[in-house]
Amino acid sequence: KAGVTQTPRYLIKTRGQQVTLSCSPISGHRSVSWYQQTPGQGLQFLFEYFSETQRNKGNFPGRFSGRQFSNSRSEMNVSTLELGDSALYLCASSLGGGADTQYFGPGTRLTVL
């Protein structure tokens, strides 16, 4: 079975721009979660989608948004980029329950200049 894939792997943007990151989950997984990883704040939960609906949301501003498609693929969007948005963005997929293992993709490294 193919693992979780994320595209692109690396991205450089400038302040004020917007960016869209993509995540393809493991086949059969209906839940996709997004996390932001930075040296200062560590791993922080952004949001989770399950069957095209946002089920959980972390404590991030509204500039961070996401969606999930009928094939479970997910995208996250960050508008009006700030320098502090530079991070590794990780996507994880699972069957959907809290006890289910989340399988992580390799991440997208976003640099905001």
Partner 1 sequence: AQSVTQLDSQVPVFEEAPVELRCNYSSSVSVYLFWYVQYPNQGLQLLLKYLSGSTLVKGINGFEAEFNKSQTSFHLRKPSVHISDTAEYFCAVSQGGSQGNLIFGKGTKLSVKP
Which positions touch partner 1 (CB under 8 A)?
4, 31, 33, 35, 42-45, 48, 50, 55-56, 58, 90, 92, 94, 96-107
Q: Which residues contact 36 (CB under 8 A, 6 or more apart)?
A: 43, 44, 46, 60, 87, 88, 89, 90
Helix (H, G, I), strand (E, B) or coil at 99: coil
CB of 15 to partner 1, least distance (A): 25
CB of 58 to partner 1, least distance (A): 7
CB of 16 to partner 1, least distance (A): 28
Q: Name which of 42 and 62 has its Cβ closer to partner 1.
A: 42
Q: Which residues contact 80 (CB under 8 A, 6 or more apart)?
A: 16, 18, 63
Tokens 């994320």, located at residue:
6
Helix (H, G, I), strand (E, B) or coil at 84: helix
Q: Name which of 58 and 79 has its Cβ closer to partner 1.
A: 58
Q: Name which of 5 and 79 has its Cβ closer to partner 1.
A: 5
Q: Name which of 18 and 69 has its Cβ closer to partner 1.
A: 69
